[in-house]
Structures are given as C-alpha cells and as structure tokens.
C-alpha cells in the first residue's frame, strides 16, 4: 500500500482543454450552483420568478423550466446555465481522483512520520486508512499535522482522524455538491457498487467541473 501525502492533480483526458471562463460566465455559473444548493431566491432573482412558499431548494428540472420560460436571459446566459446543468448531470466517478492516484496516510503513522511525508508531498487533506485502501476511516487536514500546538510527536495519525463523507460513484455531480455543502464536508470518499474505495472527490473538484467547463 502506498502511504504518504494526498491526491495528486486530476488529469484531463487528451483533447479536452479547459478554457478559463470569463467573469460574467463565472458569476452566472456560481449563481446556478448556489441556487441548486438551496438558495432559491438567487434563481428567482436571476430569472424573475416568484419563489414557492416554504421551499428551500429548487430541483434541476424546475430550474430548467424557469430558464426555458424566462424571456430576459440572453443567449449566452442560457448557454452558460445549460452547460452548468449538463456538467452537473455527470457522475461523481467520472470526475473523482481515482484511488490509483491517491496517496493515503495509515492510522499507525506517528505525527512525526506523517509530518515528514506531508512536507514532502503537501496537500490540503489526506485520506486515512486502517489496513487496505478499502478501509478508509477518515481524513486529516494538513494543519492537523503541521500546525497542531504542542503536538506530541509520538501521537498517531489515527488520533487526529476526522470523520469523512462517503458518496456512491453513481451520484450526479450537482447533487453531490449540494449534499457536501449542506453537510459541511470538503472531502468525500467515492465508493463503488461493492462498497470499496473507488477514489476521492473534493468540493473544489465538483465546483471546477461545473464552472470550469464554461467558455
């Protein structure tokens, strides 16, 4: 089992260069992402519709209906929203960092050992395993290892481990982002149909998938 730092950068398939979206595209896309995350008022403000009393979230289908019925949006804005929704319909397993590209920290590592490893391969969050890659028990944040006040170098990674979110690889990107943001998770372990570890995904990965595809 490889032990060490966190996931490396996600690789884009050949032939799929990502062009940086302009400021207007980013703004509209973020409105859509936030709307899908429960901020119905943002959507209704954007589209000029009236929010339904008591509703906290708006579904993708309802959002598409609002966009289709709206007469204020210009073609570029419609295209941007459509691209976000298309990207959001992708599956988490299509955008995750696969387990073969993830480096894990073992629960038995001492803080001193972990510190050497994370300094050599720094990332924000590190999945923690107690056995094989399928035995993910949580994660540690970089600051847990490097910035812990008066840390005992004999303490183990297992003592610092935080709870980690699990997501099925079949979940859609927009739904996964909504769930992670609502529950306050920044990292999730992606599991396959057998419950094994397929990879990991972060909120940043999901937002990039939604906003970064816009051009």
Sequence ranges of the domains in the chain: 60-89, 92-211
As given in the structure block, the two tokens for residue 180 are: 């992670």
User: What number is the average pLDDT over the span 53-73?
Assistant: 60
Cβ(207)–Cβ(128) under 8 Å?
no
User: What number is the average pLDDT over the span 47-56?
Assistant: 46
CA distances from 6 to 43, 63, 115 (A): 36, 36, 13
Residue with the larger pLDDT of the pair 77 and 141: 141
As given in the structure block, the two tokens for residue 163 are: 């709870």
Measure the CA–CA gap between 172 and 67, rounded to whole angstroms: 20
The residue to which tokens 């959001």 are assigned: 88
Residue-level pLDDT at 9? 40
The residue to which tokens 């990965």 are assigned: 205
Answer yes or no: is pLDDT of 12 > 90.
no
Burial label, 1 (beta-carbon count in 10 A; 0-12, 13-18, 19+)? exposed
Beta bridge partners of 105: 128
Residue with the larger pLDDT of the pair 154 and 102: 102
Measure the CA–CA gap between 128 and 205, rounded to whole angstroms: 19
Residue 196 confidence class, pLDDT cut points 50, 70, 90: very high
Answer yes or no: is pLDDT of 68 > 80.
no
* pTM greater than 0.75 (yes/no): no
CA distances from 193 to 22, 27, 168, 170 (A): 38, 36, 7, 9
Cβ(175)–Cβ(168) under 8 Å?
no
Beta bridge partners of 129: 106, 136
User: Is 199 strand, coil or helix?
Assistant: strand
Task: Just give the CATH number of 92-211.
Answer: 3.10.580.10
């Amino acid at each position: 089992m490889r032990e060490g730092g966190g996931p490396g950068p996600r690789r884009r398939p050949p032939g799929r260069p990502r062009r940086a979206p302009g400021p207007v595209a980013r703004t509209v896309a973020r409105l859509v992402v936030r709307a899908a995350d429960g901020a119905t008022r943002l959507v209704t403000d954007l589209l000029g519709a009236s929010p339904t009393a008591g509703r906290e979230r708006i579904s993708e289908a309802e959002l598409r209906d609002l966009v289709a019925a709206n007469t204020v949006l210009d073609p570029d804005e419609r295209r941007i929203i459509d691209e976000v929704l298309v990207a959001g319909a992708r599956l988490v397993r299509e955008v995750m960092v696969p387990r073969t590209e993830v480096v894990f920290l073992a629960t038995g590592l001492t803080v001193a050992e972990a510190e050497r490893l994370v300094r050599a391969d720094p990332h924000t969050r590190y999945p923690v395993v107690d056995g094989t890659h399928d035995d993910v028990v949580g994660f540690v944040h970089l600051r847990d290892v490097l910035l812990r006040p008066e840390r005992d170098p004999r303490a183990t990674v297992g003592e610092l481990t935080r709870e980690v979110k699990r997501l099925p690889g079949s979940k859609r990107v927009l739904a996964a982002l909504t769930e992670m943001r609502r529950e306050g998770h920044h990292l999730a372990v992606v599991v396959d149909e057998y419950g094994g570890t397929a990879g990991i995904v972060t909120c940043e990965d999901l937002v990039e998938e939604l906003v970064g595809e816009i051009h």
